[in-house]
């Protein structure tokens, strides 16, 4: 049913095919998205009200409202109380034509869908909110804010962060316990350096987990990296004690990559290990903002602030390009970390820190999190539904939080790594990017083949198309033959 509406600018033809395979909302979203990218809907162009468009297209008003909300979350539309919904500025240059859905080399290699993990939806980065925060900072910051500042971070941000982390993560810290740094990589590097300076000779890490990253940093600091097994309850604390490590790097709220939560008894055992041995617990709170059907899991640091170094970042919640993170450290380790930060770069960009503080104080950060959490929850449901439809016997875990899932493949005649490689290669030939779990193991051969399926930077339509394209690869009878 073709329909044209008249706004303050040129009309736009929207076609809704009720007999087609795509859902009505998907059709409307894709046509509006394409029109904006192509410049047929110009920046600041007003759209009809949800009531008007629903009536014209014969759709429910709620469906149109959901469509507008999705495009607003993606940065294509803007909306203010008492004003029409409009096309956002800066989505695409009229001289550039449509913007590509994905711009990385992986997106070119995987045109149907790329289930890359560890990356948020870059299109959901809050551009308008960040621009507002930067402009506010430039208007109101005193001249002193343009000087070097404290290496540990602008005090205004440390104060706001301490309050925020206490409120949402049960972190027990004040501004003097925080060090602002350039994302998780620098934070962990500073911590490893401080541990080495304190005499720690080995750092344990979860297996499977971020072993490659940890071992690179420990090697540079001259200390050993020791893998410790993870099971359905989280890190095996008994194995940690037997390892003789002087510190351990953990992801207790949502273990990377299995998705398990460190249980209450294991948490208490880990703290007991720390106090009995003097070992340091390094906690990566990497995606705690994104939980769906489980109760919040508080920070481990809040249970034992004298034993735990907690690391956090806005790379998942805002955008990796901002390079802003933090360390919450016990007083005994804070001076060494502060010296390391000063030697590294004399401090992270002060104006960006003030902008982040403005976002947090204004409530815009929380509102942004609510919007993106709703979108990731919708993508999670899309993935679950697609797998149920196309591979109903496949076990899926790790979906209680974050934006990746673990698919448990049926075993083949080869080892787990070989089975994963066969599926990944076959999927790539169909334009679908998949990623295996085997390379996340540092010790023994993984017990069974598993895939890490990210949906953070993969649209709902791509999720559906990608799972459909590889359905036969995920079903046991066809894969065993």
Mapped onto helix, strand or coil, the DSSP state of residue 187 is helix
**Separation between Cα atoms, residue 444 and residue 447, nearest integer Å:** 8
Angle subtended by helix axes 460-469 and 364-390, to nearest 10: 20
Q: 225-236 pLDDT, tens per residue? A: 999 999 999 999
CATH for 9: 1.10.10.10
Torsion angle (degrees, nearest 10) of CA 19, 20, 22, 27? -90
Does residue 147 share a domain with residue 62? no
Task: Tell whether 136 and 86 lie within a shared domain.
Answer: no
**Last residue in a domain, options 304, 329, 362:** 362
Average pLDDT over the chain, rounded to whole?
A: 87
List all residues 6 or more positions away from 440 whose beta carbon is below 8 Å from its beta carbon. Answer: 208, 209, 211, 257, 452
Distance (Å, rounded) from C-alpha 194 to C-alpha 199? 9
**How does DSSP classify residue 147?**
S
Contact, 5 vs 52, CB < 8 A? yes
Pull the structure tokens for residue 57.
Answer: 């297209």
Do residues 11 and 91 share a domain? yes
pLDDT, tens digit only, all 481 positions of the chain = 444 444 444 456 677 777 655 678 878 888 888 888 777 788 888 888 888 888 888 888 888 888 888 888 777 888 877 778 888 876 543 333 333 344 444 445 788 999 999 889 988 999 999 999 999 999 999 999 999 999 999 999 999 999 999 998 899 999 999 999 999 999 999 999 999 999 999 999 999 998 888 999 999 999 999 999 999 999 999 999 999 999 999 999 889 999 899 999 999 999 999 999 999 999 998 776 777 766 667 899 999 999 999 999 999 999 999 999 999 999 999 999 999 999 999 999 999 999 999 999 999 999 999 888 889 999 999 999 999 999 999 999 988 888 899 999 987 767 888 899 999 999 999 999 999 998 888 886 677 899 999 999 999 999 999 999 999 999 865 444 3
Residue 147 to residue 222: CA distance in whole angstroms: 35
CATH number at residue 298: 3.40.640.10
Specify the 3-state DSSP secondary structure of 325: strand
Burial (0-12, 13-18, 19+ Cβ within 10 Å), 82: exposed
Q: Is residue 229 part of a domain?
A: yes
Could you list the residue range(s) of the whole structural domain that residue 204 is in?
Answer: 128-362
DSSP, collapsed to helix, strand or coil, labels residue 15 as: strand
3-state secondary structure of 121: coil
The residue ranges of DSSP E strands in 76-199, in sequence order, are 77-78, 86-87, 113-114, 178-181
Number of structural domains, the chain? 3
Q: Which of 304, 301, 341 is nearest to 325 (CA)?
A: 341
For residue 452, the domain's CATH number is 3.90.1150.10
Distance CA 419, CA 186 (A): 35
Report strand pairing: 404-408 vs 395-397: antiparallel
Do 380 and 425 fall into the same domain? yes
Q: What share of the chain is helix, strand, coil (3-state, %, to 5)?
A: 45, 15, 40
Residue carrying the six token digits 């034993």: 307
Residue 313 domain-assigned? yes
* 179 in the same domain as 53: no
The answer on 250 and 141 residing in a single domain is yes
User: Could you please report the per-residue DSSP string of 387-436?
Assistant: HHHH-TT-EEE--SBTTEEEEEPPP-SS-HHHHHHHHHHHHHHTTEE--B
The residue among 164, 70, 194, 53 whose CA lies nearest residue 124 is 70
Same domain (yes/no): 176, 308:
yes
Instruction: Let me know whether 237 and 159 are in one domain.
Output: yes
Burial of 18 (0-12, 13-18, 19+ CB in 10 A): exposed
Q: Would you say residue 115 lies in a domain? A: no
- Cα–Cα distances in Å, from 95 out to 37, 39, 76, 99? 11, 9, 18, 11
Same domain, 185 and 331: yes
Q: Is 236 a member of any domain?
A: yes
CA distance 157 to 365: 13
Beta strands 202-207 and 247-250 are parallel
Task: State how far the Cα of 452 lies from the Cα of 208, in Å rounded to an integer.
Answer: 12
Q: How far apart are CA 157 and CA 142, in angstroms?
A: 15
Residues 263 and 133 in one domain: yes
Model pTM score: 0.76
CA-based nearest residue to 230, from 117, 397, 393: 397
Q: How far is CA 388 from the centre of its chain?
A: 24
For the chain, give the percent of residues with pLDDT over 70.
89
User: 187-243, pLDDT tens digit by residue?
Assistant: 999 999 999 999 999 999 999 998 888 999 999 999 999 999 999 999 999 999 999
- Residue 343 counted as domain residue: yes
CA-CA-CA-CA torsion for 160, 164, 166, 171, nearest 10 degrees?
-90
Q: What are phi and psi of 219, to 5 degrees?
A: -60, -40
The CA-CA-CA angle for residues 30, 124, 127, to 5°, reads 115
User: Looking at the structure, do residues 349 and 234 belong to the same domain, yes or no?
Assistant: yes
Do residue 293 and residue 202 come from a single domain?
Answer: yes
């Amino acid at each position: 049913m073709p329909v044209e509406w008249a706004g303050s600018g040129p009309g736009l033809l929207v076609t809704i095919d009720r007999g087609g395979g795509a859902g009505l909302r998907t059709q409307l979203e894709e046509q509006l998205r394409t029109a904006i990218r192509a410049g047929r809907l110009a920046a600041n162009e007003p759209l009809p009200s949800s009531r008007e468009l629903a009536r014209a297209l014969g759709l429910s008003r709620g469906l149109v409202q959901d469509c507008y909300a999705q495009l607003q979350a993606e940065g294509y539309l803007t909306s203010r109380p008492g004003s029409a919904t409009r096309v956002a500025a800066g989505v695409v240059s009229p001289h550039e034509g449509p913007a590509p859905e994905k711009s990385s080399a992986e997106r070119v290699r995987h045109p149907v869908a790329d289930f890359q993990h560890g990356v948020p939806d870059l299109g959901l980065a809050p551009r308008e909110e960040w621009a507002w925060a930067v402009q506010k900072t430039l208007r109101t910051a005193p001249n002193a804010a343009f000087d070097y500042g404290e290496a540990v971070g602008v005090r205004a941000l440390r104060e706001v962060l301490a309050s925020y982390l206490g409120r949402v993560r049960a972190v027990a810290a004040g501004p003097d316990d925080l060090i602002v740094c350039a994302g998780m990589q620098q934070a962990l590097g500073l911590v490893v350096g401080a541990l080495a300076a304190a005499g720690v000779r080995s750092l344990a890490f979860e297996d499977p987990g971020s072993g490659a990253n940890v071992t690179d940093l420990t090697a540079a600091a001259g200390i050993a990296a020791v893998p410790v097994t993870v099971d359905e309850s989280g890190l095996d604390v008994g194995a940690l004690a037997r390892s003789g490590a002087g510190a351990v790097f953990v992801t207790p709220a949502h273990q990377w990559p299995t998705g398990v939560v460190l249980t209450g008894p294991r948490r208490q055992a880990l703290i007991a290990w720390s106090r009995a041995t003097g070992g340091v617990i390094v906690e990566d709170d990497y995606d705690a903002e994104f939980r769906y059907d489980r109760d919040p899991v508080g920070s481990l640091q809040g249970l034992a602030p004298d034993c735990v170094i907690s690391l956090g970042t806005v790379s998942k919640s805002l955008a990796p390009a901002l390079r802003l993170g933090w360390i919450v450290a016990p007083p005994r380790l804070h001076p060494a970390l502060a010296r390391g930060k000063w030697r590294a770069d004399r401090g992270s960009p002060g104006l960006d820190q003030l902008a982040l503080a403005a976002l947090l104080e204004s409530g815009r950060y929380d509102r942004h999190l609510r919007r993106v959490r709703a979108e990731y929850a919708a993508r999670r449901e899309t993935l679950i539904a697609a797998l149920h439809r196309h591979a109903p016997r496949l076990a899926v875990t790790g979906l209680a939080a974050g934006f990746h899932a673990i698919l448990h493949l049926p075993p083949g005649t080869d080892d787990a790594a070989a089975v994963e490689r066969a599926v990944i290669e076959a999927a790539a030939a169909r334009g679908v990017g998949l990623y295996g779990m085997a390379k996340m193991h540092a010790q023994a051969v993984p017990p069974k083949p598993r895939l890490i399926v990210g949906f953070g930077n993969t649209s709902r339509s791509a999720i559906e198309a990608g799972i459909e394209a590889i359905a036969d690869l995920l079903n046991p009878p066809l894969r065993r033959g």
